Each structure stands twice: as C-alpha cells, then as structure tokens.
Amino acid sequence: MRIKEKLECPIWKIPYLFIKSLIVFIKIIKTGILILLLENKYFDKYTSLILKVLNLIIANKNQEKIGKNLLNCLISLGPGYIKLGQALSTRPDMLGKKTCNELKALQDNLSPISNSIAKKIIHNENENFLLNNLSSFDEKPIASASVAQVYTGYLKNGKKVAIKILKPNIHKNLFEDFTFFYWITRCLEFFIPNIKRLKLSRNVEILSEVSLNELDLTLEASAADELAENFKDNPNYKVPKIYWEFTTKNMLVLEFIEGIRIDDLDRLSALKHNIKKITEIGTEVFFLQVFRDGFFHGDMHPGNILIDRKGALVPIDFGIMGRLSNKDRQFLALLLTYLLNKNYKKVVEIHHEANMLGKDISHDHLAQAIRAITTPILNKPIGEVSFAKLLGQILSLSKKFNIEVQPQFTLLQKTMLMAEGTTRQINPNINMWELSRPLIDKWINDTHDPFKILEEWFHKNKLILLKIPEIIEKIDEILSKK
C-alpha cells in the first residue's frame, strides 16, 4: 500500500481531527511563539493583525519562557512535533538564539525509557547479545531522541559499540502525527485552492515515507553502509562501522566513535580544533553528498554530527536520508550559480526548461520579481547571505507566477536549512554557499563536458559493447551459410 493511501483518514475521524487541530493550535499559540514570528514579519498585514489578537488573548505573557514553553509543548504533542522542533532548533534567524538553545534538548536529550524496558527490547531482538556478545553494558543511555535511545557497551573483542533501540509504540505514535499533518494540509488545499501548487500534502507524504523508514534500523544500517562506501577515500568524513550480525529492525549496533558535538565550540576550541577548517570540511561534504552522489544525510542537526580527535566529521544517525536524480542535481546547481551571479533571466529559463512554469507566465516579469525579492538578501555581507532564504523567497512567488513546487526538493530544503543554520552557529563569518561555489562550477563543467558524457555512456554500456564482436561473428556465420 502506498504511503498516500495509508495517510488517508476515514470520514468518521474528521470531527476528532478538527477538534485536535484546534487544541494543537491553541497549545502552540500559548507558548508565545507568535511573538517571535511576528517580529520577523513573515505574514501580511491582515494575517498579522489576526495573529496579534490571538496572541494577546491566548499566549503566555512571560516572553522569557518562550523557548522552554515551546520545548515542553512539542514534547507533549508527540514525536512528529519533536522532529519539527529539531529543525527549528537550527533557525536562530527565525526564533532567536535563546529559544533555539532550549530546543536543542530535542536533538538527543529527551526523557529516556526505563532500563528494564530497554533491556527487554534488546533481549527480544537478540536474546544472546547481552549475555554472550558483550563483555560490559552501560545501563545509562548516552542519548535519547524522538524515536530511539542509545546505549554503549564493549564487545568481547574489546571494541566499544553504540546500541540504538527504537522506543516502544514509536511507529504508531509517529504515524498518527503524520496522518494528522496530512489531514491539515489536505484541508488547506481544499479550502484555499491556490495553495495546491505548494504541494503541501505531497510534501507530507515524502517526509512521512522518509521518517517512517527511519523506524526500520536495517534500512538505517544500509544507508550508513552506502554513505561509508561513498566516502571511503575521504579522511575528513568517518562513517561508523555497522555490526550487521547484531543488527535487526529494532536494534542497530555500530562502532562507537569518541567525538564532540559540532556546535560545542568551547570544547572544540579547548582541544585546539580549527573551527574554520571544520566549516570548510562540512561544506565540502554537503556538496559531495548532494551533487556528486545524489545521496545525502537528511537530518543534519548538530546532535547528529560529531568531531573526532583528528578533526574529521562523524555522522551518527542515518535514519533520514535523501536522494536526488542527476536532473534534479543539475537544476539545483544551475539555480545556485545563477542566483549567486545575479543572473535572474537564467533562473527563469531553468524553471521553464524544467516545466515548472505556467504557459502564460511573462518571463521578464518573473525575472524582475526574483530580482526584487533576492537583491536585498544578496546585497548583505557574505556571512549573512542565506541561500535557503533565497529559495524560500522564490517559493513565495509560486502563487503569483504559477510556479510548480517540486516535492523531491522538500527534504533537501529542510536539510539545507539545518546545514546552513549549523554553519552559522559555529562560524557566523563563513557562508557555506560561497565556499561551495567553485566546487559547483567544476561539477557543472564536468557534467556538461562532452568527453565526460561519452566516457559515462561507454561505462554504462560496456557489457553491450563487449558483445559486439560476438554479434558480428554470428551475423557473419549466418551470411556465410546463405
């Protein structure tokens, strides 16, 4: 059954979902978050006025506790909302540094399940693992996130391992949250037809499928293996080894690598790590994942990235991964290049070539509109330029110019926001997109190089080419018999 069919709710559930939406809306407003959003002027005047009135009536008046209130609210609402909070924790530009610092607890510091339940889960997955394969097991978890909990132990060969287990009932709870998100987006698309081009419900489908795949730890192990293969020759990016013999759908056993969170600047500085180099490595790794491989880490909040003693980046969670086709990668590379070069006509051209524009759209008017909304961003100091915000601004033109929003970029956009937010947290003076520019230019040139294209064609068709002499020989035999 497709994820869309799974997310569809029966008619009898609609009253329940409607009441739930009101309760969720009120709970979120009570945290005071509207104050932060209104300060950043995300809404038009009419919407802002309505939200100000709601904020005045419902919201908690203590602005100092917005971050703490929002943290507790998201935890109480469920794992789907926690994932939303993890993404928001990397956006100090939207919510402020203080609120984001509070939300960091959502990354790996949630209330853990009891040790007895954890041990029972491990025993159910592999009844011999604790007794026969481990020489020691630390009963205190090192991390507890929205869907899983992580312990450490030592194998009998002396190797330290991390043991990740899924929390009880997490599949049911997460699926309920996504079903609710899907219903909300479908309602918006029904009552506001113009919003359909944003493909919100389709975006929820994609995020649901990706996130629910996170609940099969054998898929996570497979993703880690693929990522490790892609970076096997790169000393600056170390993917932990997977112990397949102990790994199941509900338990993942992998190499434990000592490291420091990428946003723990005090500890990194104390150990003489080069913050500028870390930023440059992170940017290069992100570029290679997205453009070279089309296979990228889709949950790049700081809690999922460590720095080892040699300064290498160590990803530690592979539950959410994204893929892009070569066509998607070329579009994205050209879009980034043309935006940074302020070539707005070319930005319109690639949207047209990708069949993302309506038939009667004026290309000149769209180019002018893109210039108007992006110039203020591009004219800022390089450390303040946000490519993720640029994409958001272009997205805001979708209604006026009938731009088809491509759902395959949904996870990438979320990842870009996280990557950009993390980069700004650790080094505000460096812009990851400017660092990526020469890499992207080279990649575009390579992918359009006719000799390179010919080489790839020969590589893909080498088996057929090798059979050509045999085919010619058989044809010759047939002709000689005649």
Residue type, position 448, single letter: H
- Please provide the DSSP assignment of 419-438 as one string: HHHHHHHH-TT--HHHHHHH
Among the listed residues 124, 184, 423, the one whose alpha carbon sits nearest the alpha carbon of residue 281: 423
Among the listed residues 329, 296, 308, the one whose alpha carbon sits nearest the alpha carbon of residue 223: 296
- Please provide the DSSP assignment of 271-283 as one string: TT--HHHHHHHHH
Strand locations in 33-133 (E): none
Lateral strand order in the sheet of 313-315: 260-261, 305-307, 313-315
With beta carbons less than 8 A apart as the criterion, state whether 241 and 255 touch: yes
With beta carbons less than 8 A apart as the criterion, state whether 217 and 251 touch: yes
Q: How far is CA 152 from the centre of its chain?
A: 26
Residue in the structure block whose two tokens are 């997109």: 433
Phi and psi, residue 108, nearest 5°: -160, 20
With beta carbons less than 8 A apart as the criterion, state whether 72 and 105 touch: no
Phi and psi, residue 406, nearest 5°: -90, 115
Among the listed residues 405, 24, 379, the one whose alpha carbon sits nearest the alpha carbon of residue 198: 405
* Rounded (to 5) percent helix, strand, coil in the chain: 65, 10, 25
Q: How far is CA 474 from the centre of its chain?
A: 53
Catalytic residue list contains 299: yes
Beta bridge partners of 143: 150
CA separation for the pair 134, 161 (Å, rounded): 9
With beta carbons less than 8 A apart as the criterion, state whether 303 and 263 touch: no
177, 263, 299, 317: the catalytic one is: 299
**Element containing residue 154 per DSSP (H, E):** strand 148-155
Beta bridge partners of 255: 161
With beta carbons less than 8 A apart as the criterion, state whether 71 and 101 touch: no
Catalytic residues: 299
